[in-house]
Amino acid sequence: MNWTLYASVTAFLFGAEMLYLRLATHFNIVDTPNHRSAHSRLTVRGGGIVFWLAAFLAFVVSDFATPYFFAGLTLVALVSFVDDVQSISNRLRFLVQLVSVGLLLHETGLWQETGWWMIPGLVVACGVLNAYNFMDGINGITVFYSLITIATLLIINQFIAFFADPLLLHFSLAGLLVFAFFNARRKALCFAGDVGSVSMAFIVIFLLTSLMQKSGQLVYILLLAVYGIDSVITILYRLWLGENIFRPHKSHLFQLLVHQLKWSHLRVAGLYAVAQALINVYAVWLSHREGQIQFWGSLILLTVLTWLYCLLKNRLLWPKTSDPKTGQRRATSQVLRKLI
């Protein structure tokens, strides 16, 4: 491991992030709080651009080893950054995401192996991309969760199954550590923005896809279990209420913990990261078991997690005296505290 290279990259990314904060402040690229926000002051938006920059450095140092992946990452980061500065249509954003994920899948060779059967995979990957973005709602959650995910993938790549150039993993980890300095605090200096959460999601999808393809172990999808359950159930709940799932809201469990129980952002973000870390250990253990054990082990885990999630969320959203269809709710913090 070239510690001098990684230290130099980390220092460069730190300086680049400082420069971006100055430029963003000058050009008014800031997040203005509203009634749906989890913050109360103007904060620089788009600080997660450092994730794209980390991937760019890995791309250059590796002699441009993954051109289709990086082209897709750049496309999706660009449209996300534009959306951070000035809102664009959902159709345009989704179209660019489809093209970008298509390039990602081409890089992994899955298009050549499965042909048009990869179209469902394309849609699922775009769903994961947006779910990762939807979960970026409080200080620390994206960076803590991604640190756990990238660190787990780095360990797997080094000790269990080699599937990716270590440079992308190490540089992404450096980018996350740099961003954590500015974001993982009570009053964040910057938010990841769409450019940050989507870029990191794209990197994670590429790494996970490569891992599952080369190892033949689909069980590694559990590395996104916590985000997946919160995103899917929240989307289904909002669809049931007839809400527009693309509009900002406070329906995720992590948002309810912050706004109703008054837990700190970092406490909730840490809870999500620790939960996913424990699941990652279990997923790695399952990867060494036979197929039937992997299937039933994954099913049992997801069932238990879904049940716990629904139990906690129902205690917050649907007290006995409220009608969930009308949205007439009252605070239920004491109920959940007793439950926990």
CA 198/CA 147 separation, integer angstroms? 15
The number of C-alpha atoms within 13 Å of 94 and in the hemisphere containing its C-beta is 10
In degrees, to the nearest 5, what angle opens at C-alpha 255 toward C-alphas 81 and 148? Answer: 65
Would you say 45 and 191 are in contact if contact means Cβ atoms under 8 Å apart? yes
Say whether 194 counts as a known binding-site residue. Answer: yes
Helix (H, G, I), strand (E, B) or coil at 295: helix
Q: Quickly list DSSP for 138-163.
A: STTHHHHHHHHHHHHHHHHHHHT---
The one-letter amino acid at 62: S
Q: Nearest to residue 272, comparing CAs of 181, 176, 136, 71?
A: 136
The number of C-alpha atoms within 13 Å of 184 and in the hemisphere containing its C-beta is 20
CA 221/CA 199 separation, integer angstroms? 19
| DSSP code for 164 | S
Residue 180 structure tokens? 């954590």
Would you say 252 and 137 are in contact if contact means Cβ atoms under 8 Å apart? yes
| DSSP code for 33 | P
Element (H, E) at 300: helix 291-317
Positions at the binding site for Mg(2+): 133, 194
Positions at the binding site: 133, 194
